[in-house]
């Protein structure tokens, strides 16, 4: 489980593909002495397992493996050397829940439709898969590339969020441009409520 509070930005330093599978080497500022083999780390909102890691001068390099489904249904299928992603280590019992409950299970990919500046803030508007729209509501939560954000407005096929300067500078969201694709995860509570209502209507 994660909370959508990014703790590092990683970069792909090696990409290996074998058929429909892939292995990626990721460089980050994490201390390898605090990351166990088998640990779960959110990469752009996608929960992946650390299969190896080593110390570097700047932190560590670790390797993750991706299944065909992960590559097909998330932006990880577009990763190449130099790609950057938001990272978050799994939450521990007793940690501060600074964002919202995030499973690291991507529901679908969205696309940045527009980007605007309002004072010191960025307004980002995303087109989202139709199946995801029922779970979005103004003032509700959504994870975008692993970042916990509050939904500001919802239209028929789009939704928008406001990005504060800190989030823009400390995550990959600040450099998004229209047409860029992102991983989306709906709020778990909204998903369960929708399922309960659908079950009662059956």
Q: Which residue has the tokens 């939450």?
A: 91
Q: Please tell me the predicted confidence (pLDDT) of residue 32.
A: 96
DSSP codes, 9-66: EEEEEEEEEETTEEEEEEEES--GGG--TT-EEEETTEEEEEEEEEE-SSSEEEEEEE
pLDDT category at 92 given cuts 50, 70, 90 is: confident
Q: What is the pLDDT of residues 127-185, one digit of tens each?
A: 999 999 999 999 999 999 999 999 999 999 999 999 999 999 999 999 999 999 999 99
Q: Which CATH number fits domain 8-89: 3.30.70.890, 3.90.1570.10, 2.40.30.20, 3.40.309.10?
A: 2.40.30.20
Q: Please tell me the predicted confidence (pLDDT) of residue 199.
A: 77
Q: Please tell me the predicted confidence (pLDDT) of residue 198.
A: 78
pTM listed for this prediction? 0.94
The answer, yes or no, to whether residue 192 has pLDDT greater than 90, is: no
Topology of domain 108-201 in CATH is Elongation Factor Tu (Ef-tu); domain 3 (2.40.30)
pLDDT category at 93 given cuts 50, 70, 90 is: confident
Hey, where are the domains in the chain?
A: 8-89, 108-201
Say whether 108-201 and 8-89 share the same fold.
Answer: yes
Segment 13-38 shows an average pLDDT of 96
pLDDT category at 7 given cuts 50, 70, 90 is: very high
Segment 64-73 shows an average pLDDT of 96
């Amino acid at each position: 489980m994660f909370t959508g509070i990014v703790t590092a930005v990683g970069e792909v330093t090696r990409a290996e593909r074998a058929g429909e599978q892939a292995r990626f080497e990721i460089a980050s500022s994490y201390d390898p002495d605090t990351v166990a083999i088998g640990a779960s780390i959110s990469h752009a909102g996608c929960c992946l397992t650390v299969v190896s890691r080593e110390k570097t001068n700047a932190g560590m390099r670790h390797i993750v493996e991706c299944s065909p489904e992960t590559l097909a249904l998330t932006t990880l299928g577009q990763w190449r050397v130099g790609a950057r992603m938001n990272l978050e280590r799994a939450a521990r019992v007793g940690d501060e829940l600074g964002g919202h409950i995030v499973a690291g299970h991507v529901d679908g990919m969205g696309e940045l439709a527009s980007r605007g500046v309002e004072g010191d803030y960025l307004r980002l508007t995303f087109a989202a898969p139709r199946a995801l729209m029922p779970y979005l509501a103004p003032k509700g939560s959504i994870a975008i590339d692993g970042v916990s954000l509050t939904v500001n407005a919802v239209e028929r096929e789009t939704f928008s969020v406001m990005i504060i300067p800190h989030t823009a500078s400390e995550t990959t969201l600040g450099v998004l441009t229209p047409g860029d694709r992102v991983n989306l995860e709906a709020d778990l509570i909204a998903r369960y409520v929708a399922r309960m209502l659908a079950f009662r209507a059956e």
